[in-house]
Structure 1
Amino acid sequence: MSTKPDLAPTPNWLDGYSASSGDLFGDASRPVAECWRNVARGLAGLTDADPSALQDATARHAADLGLAFRLTGDEDERSWPLNAMPLIVGADEWAQVERGLIQRAGLLEKLAADIYGPQTLVKDGHLPAAVVAGSPFFARRMVGRTPPGGRFVHVYAADLARGPGGQWRVLQDRVRVAGGVGYALENRLAMSRAVGNLLADAHARRLSDFFAQMQAGMAAACRRENPRIALLTPGRFNQTYAEQAHLARYLGLPLVEGRDLTVLDDRLYVGTIAGPKRVDAVWRWIDTTALDPLSFDAKSRLGVANLFDAWAGGGVEMMNWPGVEVLESAAFAAFMPRLCRVLLGEAPILPNVATWWCGQAVESSTVAARLDELALLPAFGQPIDGLDSRDPVAGAGLGIKARNALIDALWRRPMDYCGQEIVRLSTTPAIIDGKIVPRPFTVRAFVARTGDGGWTVMPGGFARLSSTNALPTSLMGAGDLSADLWIVDEKPTSHHLGSRVAGDPPISRGGGILASQAADNLFWFGRYNERAETMVRIVRAILANPADIDGSGGQDGSDGGGVLPRLTGLLQDWGAISAETAKLSVAKICARALTETRLPSGVAMLMRRRQQVGMALRERFARDFWRVVSRPMPSINVEQPQSMLGSTRWLTEHFSALAGLISENMVRSAAWRFLEIGQRLERAQAICRMARQLMPDAGEEGDPPLDPATGLGLLLDLCDSQIIYRSRYLTRPVANPVRDLVLLDPDNPRALVFQVGEIVAHLAALPSLRDDNIPEAPLRAARALLGELQAATAADMTVERLAAIEGQLLGLSDAISSRYFLQLDSEEAERRTRLL
């Protein structure tokens, strides 16, 4: 009788972990420490005890979710650095943090109300006037303005540090933008995919209830049933745009930019394809000074003219109220303990990091004398002499020259500086280079208003692991890692049973409102994508041509039936290659067309432009779709034409994958229709242009002769119609049958008439602004062209007729833009004009 061998027990990664003093795992109570061990054992079991494999799997899940961020100054996004080892905090320890955060949120609310109201704190001497008036974020125009709902703060974040003794302290308050709240959600989503049931087994509290209550609080502030709340973003080049897009998608909020919005009769509206729609509240992710160029910074291109009048008159709610960012300055932190006692009558539950504002004589002398023990930072969050950023600089790390220059600057303008205690951070276990090692960490915690006006705290947060022992900073830096924060109970509670918000949302269908700018981006996404595919098809046809690839002629001394000059001419006419490039060898022509980034129709340029407009649509795209869009182009090797041909095949499959995702995964909403209209319009123009070059009667005087069968066969290939032609006609390609198939056959999805028919159907399904049931201009123009094509015969489709139709398609594009889209800035308008 045989017996199975005993399986080796799963190792526990924390058995050999060297916890320093103040480590989150080392300080944990016995039940929480056991939870740590169970989680570590479970993580080891997922990947055969290989930490590197677990980290790789977690990174893949983060990439699948489309998580990304951008460092300041970067043009391209970076992969989101999520560590696979979570931070685990017991519910009892976190309860104290929750009480402190709620107390602090209430304190900030009272402070904002006093600063923009009676200002008694300054009058009574509890707060120096310079701390308020000296801040560039103090919005004087907001003094005396009260929010319609009476509340200044709706969403609040605090950067927390845990000291070696286990005491949590506030590093910085964040009331302008609760940046990181979306990343906390995304980290949890990625971890839930990576670790399976470990979250539930550890009794980690859910985050969904926090977001539901936050949304209910925003809705309650609007005082309207089913209000429309928009997330106002600075745009796709903002460092946290990916986070904003994920938040908007998760919460079902329209993601809008300032140019999407307009103020009419002191009400805020978003421009949509169906006309202006009222916006009841804005969750802003831009500074107060940028909100209204007529009332604040006239140079702002992010805001909305007359928005000040709208919120001052109660026409729109703002989260958070404009001007509250004055509370974020380090100068305010120096007075928080006193202000807490004055306004709330109690000591702070969560103490500040000790801070001295140098605008007072005693404090400035103290900071100068103790500079080796302290960090120095700007008092009001702006770069100043000796400090190029808002992050703290340790005095002990300064050279003699820099130290003396900084002290001189401090004495010249002491009110611009703050001294701050240097924080020694707790550590936490982290997976670094395949090993479990301690890393210092900070946590950004989040607080939000609930529907009844109270406060709720996220049972988790955005944890950041520092790559060095440098001072904590406000932004993700190169080499830093993020981690998920688990708040765990000793046993399951109501926190693990889902949302406490009762009732199902009302049934809704469709894709919600479609802002004009989003429709514009979808339209051009479709056009860029289709143009890039067309260029790749032409390059592939050139590479597959029997002509010698070095450009010296065909294998028999011919020029490939005269098609090579025609195809090269198409690339040049479209703006994929220059006239100088057209004189080079065939291999170099194809390589330039694929890699061109200066001309408007180079494949690399088109894919870059597609990526850029796609970034503004990422909240609308499924993750699989965005992952395909984000794939980099394959490398192009001009010395290996066959390898280049393989690259064109890869690109063709790439476009086919996108087409499949569009066809199968996108809801048939107005968003899908605009993407389709862009693609169909671009394809229709391409068919006209290719047919004009490859028909027997094409070409101009002096062009090399074109073999009719070769040209027609190539046109069939470019229009994916070769197989259907062969099944219908037992003969070589002949002009009129080819014309009929690629231009006039309504059943051929690659035919010209099919594209126009689809455009008509999409335009007819879009909402109309007219009350008289008369079709709008784009639909009338499209129907006129469709009727013309339906009445035409193959013999009618001459080169001249095709040129006229191409002109009509350009006019149709202009009509669509005029009716549905916003006016472009001059740079973008010029770029698109060059493309057309």
Structure 2
Amino acid sequence: MAPGGTNMAQLPGMPSWGQGWLESYVSQTNAGDVVRDDMGRGARWWHHLFDGVAGLTEGRLQRLQDRIGRQVDEIGTAFRLPGDPSERPWPLSALPLLIGEDEWESIAQGVAQRAELLERVLADVYGSGSLVADGHLPASLLTGSRHFWRSMIGMEPLGGHRLHIYAVDLGRGPDGEWRVLADHVRAPVGAGYALENRLAASRVMGALQTRLNLQRLAPFFAGFREGLAAACKRSDPRIGLLTPGRFNQSYPEQAHLARYLGLLLVEGDDLAVRNNRLYVRTIEGLKRVDALWRRMDSRLLDPLAFDSTSQIGVPGLMDAIASGEAVIANAPGVGVIESAAFAAFLPALSRKLLGERLKLPNIATWWCGQEGPCQQMLANLDTLLISPAFADPVLGLPGGSLLGASLDAAGRAALEVAMKIRPEDYVGREVVRLSTMPMAVDGRLVARPFTLRAFAARDGDGRWIVMPGGFARLGNVADERATIMGEGSFSADVGIVSLHAQDPISLLPQHVAVRRNPGTLPSRAADNLFWLGRYLERGEATLQLVRATLGGTIDADSGASLVPVTLDRLATMLISSGAARIDEDPDEEDDDEDEDPGAIRDLAELAEAALDGRGLASIRTLFHTVHGIALGIRDRLSADVWRLIDMPLPAGPGGDATAMLTRVGQLQERFAALAGLAAENMGRTAGWRFHDLGRRLERGLVACRLTRIFASEAATADDLTTLLDLMDSQISYRARYMTGLALVPVRDLVMLDPYNPRSLSFQVARMREHLAALPSLRDDGLEEDQVSLANELALMVTTVKPESLSPATLLGIENRLAALSDAIAARFFLQGAETVRAAAMTLA
């Protein structure tokens, strides 16, 4: 802003903020920067972008970066580094990389050509083997890779294709030429991040992207899904995304893709092979799976075919693939072509197999498995990047790839000795210099080198389609060498600018038959939803106990303090529930005259332990467990639910009771928000029923325990008041009974009243409804065990009198509830290798 608060863009004769940024940025960049090159050719899209950004941010670039960061958090985009205990927010630069559609067309043609070339190479490697037999490929180039699987030779994939999706890293040189840095075919990562980058950017920039005529990403994903379906035998196939699990680096991306594409997110334990067919283990028994998009390494896929130590694979999966009963994208063994050495042979292979030159050239590569290239590499060692040929660690390169110029005399001698022993393990590549693009750092524009990851997939007709964009990775230093940039510290959306307006397109097809079947619910997902409900309800119960404990001893304004016997019962509940566990301090002196170990201090310590301690039911422990469960069903949770679960717990001073009460209030609001989202936003599917079953069962157990402790024959008025508070039934009781507290009416309200949403009777009725609505595996029409137990429990609760609710009766109800939980688990959840299938049930 100018003096007096006037925007400089409004002053006559002054450039707008956007034009000022552009002119300043271009004046500081070197040749090869994309903005500088595009503007030199007369392109106007960067002008439109920065004018729009200036309008959105009122001339403050940092606002744009702050907004994009908030959107990343809102969407839940994250990743995990190897060894990290927790996920990290996805680092997204606010400014996209813009590429004109003419330039992109040539890139897309090169990507599709390369994907087809790799497909044909793989068809020969695992088919006739003529490329090796005729000397076009050295045999050691294949056998040296740990991703080459002899067992795949002769195995023709269903649909005829080994590659269904392909990713390639591209570098743009200072001369504007795009070249291939690396191929990714085993389990290409990043398509989901490209989608999430576009989603975050569109939320921030809104109509600006429309004005730029950016090409849409949805047709690519729709085509990929159609391509997988077309390769299957059935016309309406069931497709899954096979994940290694929630600790995988890109698990958040996998969950987002599964949700977006409508795929089942499955782990190895979810799947089973019977009679050479692949099934998912669901609450309805085994359901046929026609195709898998795998995101795990080939060696882990099937312990019977590859690595026998794999604990996350599917025994017999390769039998299903070999028999043509399942499609897997991409096929095991395709990773052989990812080795750095393979790039040296692709130009010649393209001329042989495709009859044309590569449209996207490789970076120059010398493989030491051949004597001539090895001598050239040694002669030019100081100018090359030296790497392991097959990604495995090798002698002389303790840190992996390194610049030949960085070697001292001793290091060079050691490397040359190692190369003489096993020359085929080494490859030399030219050091690539990259173009730069703008990035907002601390409110100013800086130039950063970048690489582009592009994606291709087969559509329903088997043709290669290329995503119009991808995602860029930006270096965290100004050094423009790709080897120095490494993996990059930030990502950026990549937009393809069209000359024509883009029609609104979504992933949804236009003509689809109406269906009200909610889809397949895997047993593992049902298990997680059930226990998510139980642990959330358990957390609410713990917070109620903490609030009652602190309010009873500290908040005297609300009435007389609770009598010691009631306080003692609260303390007993906190300890017996597992919420509070206070370890004795061996260094504490028993005769410390400055300490007053009174009841208030002891209860405050218990309350603090219940919030932040190590007890199994403390809020900190419960929320950690809830977070872990939610990670496993991330594809089934809305962004709002995940954000509430992923949010850090509110911090506060230790033993200050008032501060703890404030924290309890904040946490109760969060738990209430989660309960409200489940009650109002979840579709009434089987998944919702399991989540609500968990809540109802836990609430019933809590009701029994509280009534047993606070509504015995020896209960005081304080006991009954506390019980009504803990059961959220204080207002209901006072509206119904004007004569004051009495034991039998309190028991009836909190345990047997079918109209009280907190009572045991209400919980049992809802559980009975849920279990009756869930599928049965019996063909004889008889009740399954969990339904019988629920009916028996409902009959018991309906016929018992409040006067008869003795501690023994209540304990018996608790045991029946626990037995019901076990029966639900035995029927619906995974039990080791058991297939969850009735003997007479037809596999679907």
TM-score, normalised to structure 2, is 0.92
Please show how residues 740-819 of structure 1 align to structure 2 within 5 Å: 740-819=748-827
1:330 is matched by which residue type in structure 2? A
1:255 aligns with 265
1:543 aligns with 550
1:519 aligns with 526
Decide whether aligned partners of structure 1 residues 743 and 388 sit closer, same or farther in structure 2, where only a CA change above 3 A counts.
farther
Decide whether aligned partners of structure 1 residues 343 and 438 sit closer, same or farther in structure 2, where only a CA change above 3 A counts.
same
Q: Helix, strand or coil for the counterpart of 2:636?
A: coil
- Do residues 361 (structure 1) and 371 (structure 2) align? yes
Out of 694, 711, 720, the position equivalent to 2:710 is: 694
Out of 532, 537, 542, the position equivalent to 2:539 is: 532
Decide whether aligned partners of structure 1 residues 649 and 401 sit closer, same or farther in structure 2, where only a CA change above 3 A counts.
farther
Out of 428, 432, 435, the position equivalent to 1:426 is: 435
Deviation at 1:195? 0.3
- Do residues 277 (structure 1) and 277 (structure 2) align? no
2:296 aligns with 286
Please show how residues 170-185 of structure 1 align to structure 2 within 5 Å: 170-185=180-195
Q: Deviations over 1:755-803 (max 9, x none)?
A: 1111111111111111222221111101110110011111111111111
- Do residues 576 (structure 1) and 579 (structure 2) align? yes
1:154 is matched by which residue type in structure 2? H
Distance in structure 1 (CA, Å) of the matches to 2:264 and 2:399 = 33
1:833 aligns with none
Q: Helix, strand or coil for the counterpart of 1:372?
A: helix
Please show how residues 250-649 of structure 1 align to structure 2 within 5 Å: 250-387=260-397, 392-398=401-407, 401-468=410-477, 469=479, 472=482, 480-492=489-501, 496-498=503-505, 503-546=510-553, 560-578=563-581, 580=583, 585-597=602-614, 599-649=615-665
Deviation at 1:336? 1.2
Aligned-pair identity in percent equals 48
Q: Deviations over 1:204-247 (max 9, x none)?
A: 11111111111111111113211111110111110000000000
Whether the 8 Å contact between 2:476 and 2:485 is mirrored in structure 1 is no
Structure 1 range deviating more: 378-387 or 257-266:
378-387
1:616 is matched by which residue type in structure 2? G
Deviation at 1:500? 10
Structure 1 range deviating more: 528-537 or 744-753:
528-537
Distance in structure 1 (CA, Å) of the matches to 2:762 and 2:489 = 52
Whether the 8 Å contact between 2:433 and 2:482 is mirrored in structure 1 is no
1:522 is matched by which residue type in structure 2? L
Decide whether aligned partners of structure 1 residues 745 and 475 sit closer, same or farther in structure 2, where only a CA change above 3 A counts.
farther
Whether the 8 Å contact between 1:148 and 1:317 is mirrored in structure 2 is yes
2:196 aligns with 186
2:684 aligns with 668
Structure 1 range deviating more: 537-546 or 452-461:
537-546
Whether the 8 Å contact between 2:290 and 2:326 is mirrored in structure 1 is yes
Q: Helix, strand or coil for the counterpart of 1:271?
A: strand
Structure 1 range deviating more: 117-126 or 767-776:
767-776
Deviation at 1:325? 1.1
Distance in structure 2 (CA, Å) of the matches to 1:331 and 1:314 = 32
- Do residues 115 (structure 1) and 125 (structure 2) align? yes
2:17 aligns with 11
Q: Helix, strand or coil for the counterpart of 1:576?
A: coil
Distance in structure 1 (CA, Å) of the matches to 2:308 and 2:433 = 43
Deviation at 1:506? 2.5
Deviation at 1:669? 0.4
- Do residues 168 (structure 1) and 185 (structure 2) align? no
1:46 aligns with 56
Whether the 8 Å contact between 2:179 and 2:362 is mirrored in structure 1 is yes
Q: Deviations over 1:421-454 (max 9, x none)?
A: 1111110011112111111111110001011111
1:831 aligns with none
1:677 is matched by which residue type in structure 2? L
Decide whether aligned partners of structure 1 residues 250 and 32 sit closer, same or farther in structure 2, where only a CA change above 3 A counts.
farther
Distance in structure 2 (CA, Å) of the matches to 1:318 and 1:151 = 10
1:702 aligns with none
Q: Helix, strand or coil for the counterpart of 2:35?
A: coil
Whether the 8 Å contact between 1:71 and 1:476 is mirrored in structure 2 is no
Structure 1 range deviating more: 463-472 or 772-781:
463-472
Distance in structure 2 (CA, Å) of the matches to 1:472 and 1:609 = 41
Whether the 8 Å contact between 1:358 and 1:414 is mirrored in structure 2 is yes
Whether the 8 Å contact between 2:582 and 2:606 is mirrored in structure 1 is no
Whether the 8 Å contact between 1:154 and 1:449 is mirrored in structure 2 is yes
Distance in structure 2 (CA, Å) of the matches to 1:654 and 1:10 = 45
Q: Helix, strand or coil for the counterpart of 2:649?
A: coil
Deviation at 1:729? 1.4
Deviation at 1:473? 7.2
Distance in structure 2 (CA, Å) of the matches to 1:111 and 1:156 = 14
Whether the 8 Å contact between 2:581 and 2:606 is mirrored in structure 1 is no
Distance in structure 2 (CA, Å) of the matches to 1:777 and 1:371 = 73
Distance in structure 1 (CA, Å) of the matches to 2:239 and 2:506 = 21
2:75 is matched by which residue type in structure 1? L
Whether the 8 Å contact between 2:98 and 2:497 is mirrored in structure 1 is yes
1:205 aligns with 215
Q: Helix, strand or coil for the counterpart of 2:24?
A: coil
**Which residues of structure 2 form unaligned runs of 5+?**
1-5, 586-596, 834-844
Whether the 8 Å contact between 2:552 and 2:562 is mirrored in structure 1 is no
Q: Deviations over 1:57-104 (max 9, x none)?
A: 111112111111111211111111111111000111111111111110
Distance in structure 1 (CA, Å) of the matches to 2:265 and 2:434 = 37
Distance in structure 2 (CA, Å) of the matches to 1:246 and 1:658 = 20
Whether the 8 Å contact between 1:439 and 1:467 is mirrored in structure 2 is yes
Whether the 8 Å contact between 2:117 and 2:350 is mirrored in structure 1 is yes
Whether the 8 Å contact between 1:688 and 1:803 is mirrored in structure 2 is yes
Distance in structure 1 (CA, Å) of the matches to 2:803 and 2:483 = 71
Decide whether aligned partners of structure 1 residues 548 and 28 sit closer, same or farther in structure 2, where only a CA change above 3 A counts.
closer
Decide whether aligned partners of structure 1 residues 401 and 594 sit closer, same or farther in structure 2, where only a CA change above 3 A counts.
farther
1:146 aligns with 156
Distance in structure 2 (CA, Å) of the matches to 1:476 and 1:528 = 42
Whether the 8 Å contact between 2:431 and 2:483 is mirrored in structure 1 is no
Whether the 8 Å contact between 2:786 and 2:823 is mirrored in structure 1 is yes
Whether the 8 Å contact between 2:712 and 2:806 is mirrored in structure 1 is no
RMSD value over aligned CA atoms? 2.4
Structure 1 range deviating more: 538-547 or 209-218:
538-547
Q: Deviations over 1:38-63 (max 9, x none)?
A: 11110111011111111111111121
- Do residues 709 (structure 1) and 717 (structure 2) align? yes
Deviation at 1:401? 4.9
Size of the alignment, in residue pairs? 805
- Do residues 72 (structure 1) and 82 (structure 2) align? yes
Distance in structure 2 (CA, Å) of the matches to 1:677 and 1:163 = 59
TM-score, normalised to structure 1, is 0.92
Out of 705, 727, 735, the position equivalent to 1:727 is: 735
Deviation at 1:562? 1.4
Distance in structure 1 (CA, Å) of the matches to 2:358 and 2:264 = 38
Q: Helix, strand or coil for the counterpart of 1:526?
A: helix
**Which residues of structure 1 form unaligned runs of 5+?**
699-706, 826-836
Whether the 8 Å contact between 1:159 and 1:442 is mirrored in structure 2 is yes
